[in-house]
C-alpha cells in the first residue's frame, strides 16, 4: 500500500510542478492546487498509514497519529485562503493587463 501511495504522491507532484511551469495564470493556479494536495497528503503520510484507527479516544484500540492530522487541517484551510487569493489576483491581473500570460504581457498576442 505504501508503494501505491508513494506513486500517487509522485504523480500529483509531477502534475502540479508541470502546470506551475506553464505560461498561463489559470494553469498555474491549477498546478498550485494539485501541488498543495500533494503536500497535504505527504504531511499526512508522515504519520504512517493506518486503517480503522481514528484519533478519537474510545472509538478504536489503536489510534492514528493525530498531530500530522491537525497540522494538515490547518494547511488545508490556509491553502483554501491562498487559493482564493491567488485566483482573484490572477483575475484582477487579467482584467488590468488584458492578457492572462504569467509575465503580464506577451508581445505576439492580441489583447483579450
Partner 1 sequence: MLLLILLLPLMFLPGPLLLRHAPRWAVGLASLPPLIAFILLLQMLPTVMQGQVLLYQLDWIPEIGLAVALRLDALSALFALLITGIGVTVMYYAHHYFAGKPEAARFYTLILAFMAAMLGIVLAENLIFMLIFWELTSLISFLLIGFYGNKQISRRGARLSLFITGGGGLALLGGIILIGQVVGSYQLTDILQARELIQADSRFPWILGLILLGAFTKSAQFPFHLWLPHAMSAPTPVSAYLHSATMVKAGIFLLIRLFPIFSGHEAWFYWVAGIGVVTLLVGSFVAIFMHDMKGLLAYSTISHLGLITLLIGFGTHGALTVALFHLVNHALFKAPLFMMAGVVDKAAGTRDLRQVNGMAKHFPMLMILSFIPTAAMAGLPYLNGYFSKKLFIVESLNGAHTGMIATLIPILAILGAAFSVGYALRLFHNTFFNGQPVDLPNWPPKQPSHWTYVPLFFFAAACIVLGLWPELMLHGLIAAAANAANVSADLLIPATRAPHVVSYDLSVIQDHPWLSLISAVTFLGGLAMYSARKTLFAWHAKLPNLNAKDHFEKLMQKLIGWAQDAVHMVENGSLQRYVLYLLVAALIFTGWPLLGLEVWQGDLELMPVDAMTAGGIVLLAAMALAVSVLHHQRITALLFTGATGLFITIGFARFSAPDLALTQFSVEVMAILIMMLALSFLPQTSPHESSRFRWTRDVIIASIAGLGVALLSFAVMTRPQHSISGYFLANSVPGGGGTNVVNVILVDFRGFDTLGEITVLAIAGLAVFALTRNLRLKDRPNHQQNDYWNGFAESHPLFLRVLARPILPMALLVSAYIFLRGHNLPGGGFIAGLITAAALSLQYVACGIRWAHVRMLTQFRPLIGAGLLIAGTTGVGSLVFGKPFLTSWFGHFELPLIGEFELATALLFDLGVYVTVVGATLLILANMGRLMTIHGPGKEIG
By CB under 8 A, what part of segment 69-98 binds partner 1?
69-70, 72-74, 76-85, 87-92, 94-95, 98
Does the footprint of partner 1 cover residue 110 (CB under 8 A)?
no
Q: Which of residues 26-65 bind partner 1 (CB under 8 A)?
A: 26-27, 29-31, 33-34, 37-38, 40-42, 44-59, 63-65
Nearest-approach distance from CB 22 to partner 1, in angstroms:
7
Say if residues 97 and 105 touch (Cβ distance below 8 Å). Answer: yes
Q: At its nearest, how many Å lie between partner 1 and the CB of residue 37?
A: 6
Using CA atoms, how far apart are residues 74 and 71, in angstroms rounded to an integer? 5
Output the CA angle 79-91-112, nearest 5 degrees. 150
Under the binding rule (CB under 8 A), the answer on residue 103 touching partner 1 is yes
How many chain residues bind partner 1 (CB under 8 A)?
87
Cβ atoms 95, 107 nearer than 8 A:
no
Closest CA to 81 of 20, 28, 36, 25: 36
Q: Closest distance between partner 1 and the C-beta of residue 76, in Å? A: 5
CB of 64 to partner 1, least distance (A): 4
Instruction: Say if residues 38 and 16 touch (Cβ distance below 8 Å).
Output: yes
Amino acid at each position: 500500500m505504501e508503494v501505491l501511495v508513494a506513486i500517487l504522491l509522485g504523480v500529483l507532484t509531477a502534475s502540479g510542478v508541470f502546470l506551475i511551469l506553464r505560461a498561463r495564470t489559470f494553469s498555474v493556479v491549477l498546478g498550485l492546487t494539485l501541488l498543495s494536495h500533494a503536500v497535504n497528503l505527504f504531511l499526512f503520510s508522515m504519520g504512517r498509514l493506518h486503517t480503522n484507527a481514528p484519533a478519537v479516544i474510545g472509538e478504536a484500540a489503536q489510534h492514528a497519529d493525530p498531530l500530522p492530522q491537525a497540522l494538515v487541517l490547518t494547511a488545508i484551510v490556509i491553502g483554501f485562503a491562498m487559493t482564493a487569493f491567488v485566483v482573484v489576483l490572477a483575475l484582477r491581473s487579467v482584467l488590468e493587463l488584458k492578457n492572462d500570460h504569467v509575465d503580464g504581457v506577451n508581445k505576439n498576442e492580441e489583447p483579450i
